[in-house]
Homo-oligomer: A and B are copies of this chain.
Amino acid sequence: MSSYVSTASIRVRYAETDQMGVAYHANYLAWFEVGRTEWLRGQGWTYKEMESHGSRLPVIEAHCEYKQSARYDDEVEIRTTGTLLSLVRVKFEYELVRTADAGVVATGYTAHAVTDRGGKPHKLPERVRVLFQ
């Protein structure tokens, strides 16, 4: 596992709330995506470039534990770490923290296959692989 921890932040949109008055739980997975995008960018690489070079990281498993509700207009910090599971599998772990009071909103992870444009398994490019070490 890389020791690099990225931090990104989002502000909860009205669009993301539900009638319980809190952020709808599926949105947390989209915030995780913001987290891993910034993890790559923070290390000098972007997922966009990676795609343009023919590699993709489809999600094969997602998990989230909801601790405290994120609410409309809350600023939430996304702390992300990355781990190489194998040459064709990576994992990102996330901690979502409310900026105002440092309350942990949620923790979770996503596991990803590495594939080519056509969805076939594919070794993670060396340039990206080193970021996980």
CB of B59 within 8 A of CB of A25, answer yes
**How close is A40's CB to chain B, nearest CB, in angstroms?**
10
Could you mark each residue 49-84 of chain A with 1 if its beta carbon is under 8 Å from any beta carbon of chain B, else 0? 000000010111111111001001100000000000
One of B34, B61, B72 near A64 (C-beta < 8 A): B61
CB of A13 within 8 A of CB of B33, answer yes
Chain B residue nearest in CB terms to A26: B29
One of B14, B30, B34, B62 near A19 (C-beta < 8 A): B14
One of B11, B15, B62, B66 near A60 (C-beta < 8 A): B66
- Name A residues whose Cβ lies closer than 8 Å to a Cβ of B: 11, 13-15, 17-22, 24-27, 29-30, 33-34, 37, 46-48, 56, 58-66, 69, 72-73, 119
- Further contacts, 11 of them, CB under 8 A, given A11-B34, A15-B30: A14-B18, A15-B18, A15-B26, A20-B58, A47-B73, A48-B72, A58-B69, A61-B63, A61-B65, A63-B63, A63-B64
